[in-house]
Chain A
């Protein structure tokens, strides 16, 4: 099952909460490049899958592999530093910090996060800060938040806060993006912008995995769909294969909804 070129892979992953098997023996590989969507009804284990991959919750059994290395059981901070960016459905921005601080905090391996360095090599810390500040301003410009960099992130509109989330993820310089419900709560234009962002990421050779409820978004941007239900992977294929699957259509998509 595990192919050599897989960038990210999970193998026989399971976890239970109380008596509920939230994820039940799921295996899949994701190769570099392109967008994969994880869809399925509420409670299917989609977000839990993200939590398991990033180490936010402990698995009961199974393995997670990234770039050929076993990262099972690694802490979320470790997983992030390896190059997996993850966003949350409820955004989790740092409300009391400015947009600039939100982005600057997201760079990995900052010398100045060590108190030793702060006092012993202040020159190098300041130099890196200046560099990161420049990069952060570039990112803020790229996500169309220019002029808002010194505003407390919590006072932005919901759509703008979603842009802060994207900006933070860009600053992580990750190679895999796990996006949880990127289009939820946005108007038509916002959804179009998010889709544009994801397409740009894919065009840049990034690997994107999204959990998404908006099926038209899923159909438009993904080149592969994983269908989860009750913690199991029940279908895996291209958008055409999944949406034309008669069994899935009657159970999940509903008749005529296509």
Chain B
């Protein structure tokens, strides 16, 4: 029973990560590869604030979310200047630097990580049972989905899509890239920070190896396999990619084989979906047509600079 509940908890955490990442990669069309870093910043922010300052865990979690959102603005500043492949490189460097700092700076936990993080609670009420976590985390995942869904179908979401579709035309139509990207990255970063806070208060001990690049690949796989630029696709992808490996552990395969097998399966799924079905699983459903996938194709940021038209 606990196994099922733990799987549900993982599903909820990854759902928050995948749905928020979709705001960046699916709606804004910005190929940033640093979502695991925001996840880490939220988790460490929550854990460090809670253990160093001994304040209420909910306040620590809010601090963690705010710090992650702040770093989101930093990535947005990069995304305003560079796009495409350069953004991939810059964001990936950010990811590497964050993990390296967490591992090597002693007041950030260092190689020992951060332990003794209290469970989620408010006014003395604490969650201690797995079922309590499931209820809280499913509610949080639901709220995250609602927030992203509400934003995506608002004029803000529409303006984000214009930047994805054609940034030069978007600017010429009065859409301010700085403003829109700034918000998209900080909201997505803050929500990834929320996932971090959830993870930290659930696992109570965090270390940098939980936030490596393999987590980035996993989140990306969830969004792309589920369907980028849709809300429910990433949700579906998160549940699927958490539940399927969990289910496979029941199969009579030795654990030493299972780990590598999982990584190979993620990679294969990514390749298959990017190549054959860029609209993801969600795109298979007939009711999903209205949303529309990014036409640029998530894997191939369009080179779109003004200099391509200055010749005449």
A interface residues with partner B (beta carbon < 8 Å):
17, 22, 42-44, 46-48, 51, 54, 56-57, 75-77, 80-81, 86, 88-90, 92-98, 101, 104-106, 108, 110-115, 118-119, 125, 128-129, 150, 152, 154, 168, 172
Contacts and interface: CB of A to CB of B under 8 A. Distances in A.
A72 B231 CA distance: 41
Contact of A86 (B154, B170, B172, B294): B172
Contacts of A93: 165-166, 169
A88 B312 CA distance: 12
Nearest to B295: A96
For the complex of A and B, the 9 pairs showing the least CB-CB separation, nearest first, are A112-B155, A96-B295, A92-B169, A80-B174, A94-B165, A76-B171, A118-B154, A77-B176, A81-B174
A117 to B, nearest CB: 8
Interface in B147-185: 147, 150-151, 154-156, 158-159, 161-162, 164-166, 168-177, 179-180, 183
B309 interface: yes
Contacts of B147: 119
Contacts, number: 130
Contacts of A46: 312
A125 B309 CA distance: 36
Contacts of B187: 115
Contacts of B173: 80, 105-106, 168, 172
A118 B295 contact: no
B306 interface: yes
Interface in B121-168: 147, 150-151, 154-156, 158-159, 161-162, 164-166, 168
B161 A94 contact: yes
Nearest to B165: A94
B175 to A, nearest CB: 6
B292 A96 contact: yes
A96 B294 contact: yes
B251 interface: no
A209 to B, nearest CB: 14
A98 B311 CA distance: 31
A185 to B, nearest CB: 15
A56 to B, nearest CB: 5
B171 A75 contact: yes
Contact of A57 (B172, B174, B310): B310
A152 B311 CA distance: 30
B113 interface: no
28 contacts: A22-B310, A43-B311, A44-B312, A47-B309, A56-B171, A56-B306, A76-B171, A76-B172, A80-B172, A80-B173, A92-B166, A93-B166, A94-B170, A96-B293, A96-B295, A96-B296, A101-B158, A101-B161, A104-B158, A106-B173, A112-B155, A113-B155, A113-B175, A114-B156, A115-B154, A118-B154, A128-B155, A154-B295
Interface residues of B, number: 40
Contacts of A54: 172
B305 to A, nearest CB: 10
B312 A48 contact: yes
Nearest to B163: A94
Contact of A129 (B155, B180, B310): B155
B306 to A, nearest CB: 5
Contacts of B164: 96
A113 B159 contact: yes
Contacts of A101: 158, 161
A238 to B, nearest CB: 25
Nearest to B150: A118
A92 B168 contact: yes
A75 B176 contact: yes
Contacts of B168: 56, 76, 88, 92
Contact of B162 (A97, A108, A125): A97
A52 to B, nearest CB: 10
